[in-house]
Structures are given as C-alpha cells and as structure tokens.
Chain A
Amino acid sequence: MTAIDPTAHLTAEQIEELGRELDAIRDEVIAGRGEKDAAYIRKVISAQRKLELVSRGVLLFSIFPPAWLLGTAGLSVAKIMDNMEIGHNILHGQWDWMRDPKIHSTTWEWDHVSPSEQWKHSHNELHHTYTNVIGKDNDLGYGIMRVDEDQKWHPFHLGQPLWNFLNACFFEYGIAAYDLELGKNLHKRRRKSPEFRARAKAVGRKIRKQVLKDYVIHPLLSGPSFLPTLAATFTANLVRNIWTHSVIMCGHFPEGVQVFERRSIKGETRGQWYLRQMMGSANISGSKAMHFMTGNLSHQIEHHLFPDLPSNRYAEVAVKVRALFEKYELEYVTGPLPKQVFSAWHKVFRLSLPNKEPKVKTPDRGQEVVAA
C-alpha cells in the first residue's frame, strides 16, 4: 500500500512459479523431519524446565543480592524460552507430527496470561492468514497504533510512543486483551455476549493463576526473601515482556515492510499469499544464540512462509528463501536487532504525527488477476 509496489515487476506466472519453488522447499523439510528434530525440542524443553527450577530455587535465597541477580537472570531466560522457542512454536503445531500428546498444539499451555486456545485463534488464524492486511490483521499496531501512512490519523495517535512503551512493559496483558479483542468487545451489547464472557472468564482464571504463582506463592515460599522474590519475578516478567515485544515489533514494523489493503487479498492465489508473507515480514540477523532467544522469530520471513515447520529448521530454510528473494529481485528486509528495533520505533514516532495523503496507490492485485 506504499506509494510504489515493490512487486510490480513480477508477472502472474512468475508469482505462481515462486509459490511452487517455496512449496518445494517446504516439502523437502517435511520429508526430512525426524529423530534429530524431536531430540532438539525435547532437549530445549528439558533445559528450560531445569533452568526454571534452579532459578526459582536460587530465588528462595534472594535476600542475598548475588542470589537475586542470578535467580532473576535465570528466570528471565527461562520465561523467554517458554514463551518463544517452546510455547509459540508448539502452539503453531510445529511439533504435532511427533504425535507426543505432551508436546502438542492441542494440549500445550504456556507461562503467559493469555490462554493458549485464544492466542492460537488470534495469532495462528487471524494474524498468519491475513498478515499485514489493514483491518484484518490486528497485529498491525494491535489496534492502538497507526502503522501506515494510508491509515487515517487521529489525535489519539499522538500518544502512540507511550502506548507502545506501556504495551512493551505489560506485553502479556496486552496480548491477552488483544486476543479477547477487548477494544471492540467493550461496547455494551458485545460485553454481554455469552461467548465473550466465557472467554473473558478464561483469561481471568489464567491471570489469577499466573499472578498467584509469581507474586504470592513463590514469594511466600521464600520466607524472609518474600520481597526480593516478588521483585525478581516482576523483573523476570518485565524482561520477558520487553524482549518479546521488541522481537515481535521487528517482525512486521521495520521500514521496508509492506502492508496491504483489504481488497487486495480477494481471490488471492497460493503464490500471491506467499508473496504477501515475503513482503510483509522482516528478519533479525545475528548469532545462533540470538536466533534461539527469539524463538527463531528472527527468521520471521521464513516463519510466515512456513509457520508449521519446526523452528530449528528455519536457519537452513532461510538460505534458500533468501536466494529466491534475489532471483525475483525482492527486498529481503533484515538487520541486527538494535537497527530493527530502532527502525520500528522510528516508525511508531513518525506515524504518531499526521502526514500528507499519498498520491499514488498500489494497483489492486485482486482485480489484476481477474483481468489476466
């Protein structure tokens, strides 16, 4: 929807050929999934649980500052692992093929206030199907921000840097509210719908359990270390929230990422769907540790093309995907974390102010297909 369509040089045939080439990459990974991949996720889950156990154990003595630091750092990492490499990816069904009922998208629950079931609907279904389609994909600005020049400006947007900062700090609550579509559902009539009430109740239950665990039970177990443990769990949640928010902002917000109009996805072919995922996502470059801590969402482009492939395979897939970007002369948006975070925040600030209406509109791809 930006002034110049960066995919304008591709013919309809080329787009379908691109789709076939991406399908081939996907099929190759699926055919090769096996014991090593299963061992990988089991190892990560086991490591996360051990790290959490040890960290919470150390925090029992968090009255001593070194124990506080060590326990808080460990718990922060454990929570990030649970959220990103484990929870996010299992809930995508990436490990369902193992047929292990304990590591399955239908049974997994994460250390997060949004119940898995609701998150799967808003994230897997709405965000991944309608990626970057304004009005359909609420991940674009989470309904509180303006993320594209073509969106109508409102004085409310002046505050969006602040909204975004608060959202980062309390990200898991933001996600829970977002999964509930709270903004839309607070209207009087909707608030009373039994379906919404049931979902709101489920969130309330989850929040209660999470808060009780982090801010009551574990501090109480620590006895004299009550307050330091409370502070430690609060800090770990804060660190996890800011980290996940940053990583997720880098996925679709940096400069160079395209957004799409609602009518442009009408009658979208498989090739066009792939192309939208390619143009609507951005990566983070970095070390293996960086990829791991982002839950491999640093390979956001690959994840959006193949959301159900095991996360440990995205790195090898990325090499092939990037080659396709080059072949079809498309921009592969990537960069180190600080650069991407800065870029995303820059956009948040820039779009908090009104801008001139763009003069050139992107051609409507839906109509183009009909014409062809």
Chain B
Amino acid sequence: MRYSGFKVIKEALTGHKGWTPAWRDPAPQADYDIVIIGGGGHGLATAYYLAKQFGGKRIAVLEKGWIGGGNVGRNTTIIRSNYLLDGNEPFYEFSLKLWEGLEQDFNFNAMISQRGILNLIHTDAQRDAFIRRGNAMMLNGADAELLSVAQIRARYPFMNFDNARFPIKGGLAQHRGGTVRHDAVAWGYARGADARGVDIIQNCEVTGFRIENGICKGVETSRGFIGASKVGCAVAGSSGRLMAKAGMRLPIESHVLQAFVSEGLKPVMPGVVTFGAGHFYCSQSDKGGLVFGGDIDGYNSYAQRGNLPVVEDVVESGMALFPMLGRVRLLRMWGGIMDMSMDGSPIIDRTHIGGLYFNGGWCYGGFKATPASGWCFAHLLARDEPHPVATAYRFDRFEKGRMIDEKGMGAQPNLH
C-alpha cells in the first residue's frame, strides 16, 4: 500500500477501514542468503538497501525486542554532516544527501526537518578550528557558513552571549542539518524492506553463532537455528556482548548516554544549537518539547538508565547557555547504551570469520549515519568490498595506526 494525500482523504471518508499493517510478521525460515542481526535503524536500512539497491534476495532482519525500540528510538534526532576528517566527511555528507531524498524514496513521512544546526564559538582558537572544519565540509560538497554574533543574536536572542567563561563569539552553521522523527526512520525502512520481501522477525534474540572451520553458517536464536550464507551484525550498544559470542574482542566499550525532554512550549528554538565547550546540545521537537543532552555518564554500562550527577551537569550547562531553561519543567529523561569505539569512529567491515560482517562503534553520533550506514553495509554484504565512502572504517585501523580520531582525544572511549 502506498501512502498519499489522496489515500488519506479516501480513508477519512470511508471510516479508515482500508489501512493495512505496514509490515508482515513472518515466522523465521530455516535459512536465508543474508541475515541481519538488529532491527534498529542501521539493520533495517541495510536490509532495505540490500533488497532495493543491490538486488539481494532471501533476507531476514532478526530483532530481539521490537523494531525501533533501541537507540533509533532513543536519540536526540540530530542529523548533520559537519565533520572534518577525510575518513568521515564524505561518508556523513553522503548520509545527509540520502536523508534529503529519503521520504520520497521510501514513501513514508519521517518528518525530516532541515532547520539548521549551529555550533557555537567561544574562543579564537575554536574559531580557527571551525573555519578549518567549514572549509573541509565545503571541499566535500557540504554547506557551511560562519555566523557573526549579530547574526546569531537575531535568531537566538535568548542565549547568554556574555557568559563569563564561555562568551559567544560566533558560530559555524550548517543550514542543511536538522532533525528527524527518529522512530519513523525505523518504521519507514521496515515497511520498505518488507515490501521488497525482507522478513522482519521480532522477538527473536540471537544467542550465538554456528561457526565451522572459521566460517559462519548461521545464528542460534531464541526461535531456533537460522542458517545464512552471510550474517551482518548491527546491534548498536550490544556489539561487545554479541561479538563475544563469536569469540571476538572489539575496540569498543559500552557506555550510557542520557537525553532529556522538557514540557511542551511554543516555538522558541528555530534550529539545533550545540554548546561544545559546556557539552550541551538542544533542539525543539515538533510537539514543542526542548530535547537536549550532554556528555556520556563516563563508565561502562549496560544499564539503559543514567545516573543523577550527569543530569545535574547537563542541566547546569543548559542553564549557562539558555538561562530561560530555569523556568521550564523537565518532563522525561532516559538513557541508551552505545558502543564507544577507541577513536570515536565507526566500524563497517568483514570480520576474520568467513561470512560474518560487522557494523558498529557508532558512539553517540550514529543516528545521522543511518542511511549511509545501511547503504554501505549493504554494499559490503552484497559485493564483499567496502563502499568508496566507508573505506576508512576498518577493524585494522587501530593496529595500523590509522585512527579516525575526529575529536583528537586519543584511545580513551570515556573522553569522546
């Protein structure tokens, strides 16, 4: 079933009896050509592009809970391509271009809103760094504009421009950045993949791998063994836990990141603002809540909930930037578990086990990567070679000293 304005009107006039489920609920088959583990944004996008772009057949996505219940439905929904390094910028710009055409492509409203993202500048050194980053972005075909204090004041009059420690001295804007209705991304990809024959199997946890003579033959699941010629793992914050079952240790630690949403307000925040010096970022959802977050809690965790010190820290940073926040009630806070890789960049690669492929290490920035991650992982699974924009995301980069250390913070996951 295709969605359209005409269909909405027709259903409105006929009592909404013609809507059908957006995807099937098939029982798992005995084997598949390709099995994707993880029904998050990345896993579903991978299946979608495999079926649509790379001609893949007999594909299944296995999800231990319900699709979209992981980080794809927990993040702060920010998309952007304002990266600096060669290994990253072309990839994230590819992703942003895919976002721009996504809703037409999968015929689903993901509420993609290019309301712009602004990174604030507080020191001269930061200005130099952002000018350099803006140039790197433009060299890769992305948009970037350096804004003056006056330009920022006109758009965000309520910010504290004269904070004693972090006065606002300008900002780097990417007008094509913005926000997306995050869970709709999972639903849109699921629907698109299902329509092309992909089996989306929920409540099916992968509990182990069947590996014979160094070749992966399939996965053990809570619903029995499922054979596969190729297995792709895209389980976000569970990567360490799952790949340990294949006997692998990863350059990854699992950490919790919290997010917050305020009560609904009238429109006040036109775009996304990041306050790097104070570790705070904020946007306003279409329902009116201010959505914001800050640093990770800072120690290994699978608890899917945060601790109070970080709540205090984030709210303090927020107050320093937006004093008006002090009058706003906090509605909810939650935590998600993310892979923190040792250089802060992702991995899309084959493993040393035949037929077993890995996609993970997205740290706290993987939502914006969803379309490109899916596309590049599908490319790798279908053709056994990395997509041109994802060639740097290899396992061996740590051993070879080719880290993609975007934030210049070294081999310390708790510093990213």
Q: Do these two chains interact?
A: no
Task: Give A contacts to B, CB under 8 Å.
Answer: none
